[in-house]
Amino acid sequence: MSDLKELYQQLIIDHSRHPRHFGKLEQRTHVKEGFNPLCGDRLMLYFLVDKEGIIEDIKFEGVGCAISIASASMMAEKLKGHSVTYAEEMFQAFHQQVIGEPLSTQKINLGKLAVLAGVSQFPMRVKCATLAWHTLRAALNFK
Q: Which residues are 22's β-sheet partners?
A: 60
Q: Which residues are 46's β-sheet partners?
A: 31, 59
Per DSSP, the three-state class of 10 is helix
| Positive/negative CA dihedral, 69, 73, 76, 79 | negative
pLDDT of residue 27: 95
Q: What fold characterizes domain 3-139?
A: Sufe protein. Chain: A (3.90.1010)
pLDDT of residue 142: 64
pLDDT of residue 48: 96
pLDDT of residue 109: 82
pLDDT of residue 6: 72
pLDDT of residue 63: 95
Domain boundaries, the chain: 3-139
Return the axis-axis angle of helices 66-79 and 123-139, rounded to nearest 10°. Answer: 40
Query: Over the chain (143 residues), what is each successive 10-residue block's mean pLDDT?
Result: 68 93 96 93 96 97 95 97 95 90 71 84 89 94 65
pLDDT of residue 2: 64
